[in-house]
Amino acid sequence: AMATATATTACLLAVWSLVAAGLFGTGLARSSVAPAAVGKEQREFDYFALALQWPGTICSSTRHCCAVNGCCRSEALHTFTIHGLWPDYDDGTWPSCCRHTSFDMDKLTPLKPALDKYWPSLYCSSSSTCFSGRGPFWAHEWEKHGTCSAPVVHEELQYFTAAIDLYLKYNVTEMLATGDILVSNGKEYALSDVIDTIKHAFGGSPQIICKKGSVEELRLCFTKDLKE
């Protein structure tokens, strides 16, 4: 079962529109809340949040294309993709950049096809990292969030494997389709129906994050052992 996270009231009253322009609603982005701290001396986290992004919202603002931008693929992305697996605190803050462990792409060679499919970058610009200057989207997620995942997750490959395993086990796109909520058909759905469908299937309510009238992210929260 999935642990419960509360969606913003504004989003709960909004309409979920699964069209290329995005999913309509209003809400607060994670960037509006500051991390608890940055550095080694940070207390152990309380739970994990699996953050999924809706490409329709993000890709609608794409201004130019490049090889690494998933928005520019010949076939449009019609599924939620992974943003990150985040260790968080119960008070709404989170640890950040905990261990000085630089990202190493070579360690992820076995996962590269899955990362490209389920965890693509939706931007052309490189991402800021804690310890490696600027780098790929995955480097940002590992150094900012993955390094704070101990004692549950210690290594880079383990972190990305755990995120992909959760994504596939709790496949939001496929699960919504079983409830006749099809993310690629251009139809509008009441957001309350979407949340109820997820809650019925997974045992917990998702958190919905919105940007400029469009749903940008959907977050599923899990106990820190990643078992429920």
Q: Which residues pair with 188 in a beta bridge?
A: 17
Which one is catalytic: 83, 140, 216, 217? 83
Among all chains, which residue has been given the structure tokens 């943003």? 83
Nearest Cα neighbor of 30 from 102, 110, 107, 86 is 86
Which one is catalytic: 140, 143, 145, 216? 145
Catalytic residue list contains 145? yes
Distance CA 228, CA 2 (A): 5
Catalytic residue list contains 64? no
Nearest Cα neighbor of 150 from 103, 92, 98 is 98
Which one is catalytic: 141, 156, 216, 217? 141
Catalytic residue list contains 200? no
Going by DSSP bridges, is the β-strand pair 214-223/47-53 parallel, antiparallel, or unpaired?
antiparallel
Neighbouring CB atoms inside 10 A of 75's CB total 5
- Scored b (16 or more CB within 10 A) or e, 28-53 reads eebeeeebbeeeeebeebebbbbbbb
N-term to C-term CA, the chain: 5
Residues with a catalytic annotation lie at 83, 141, 145
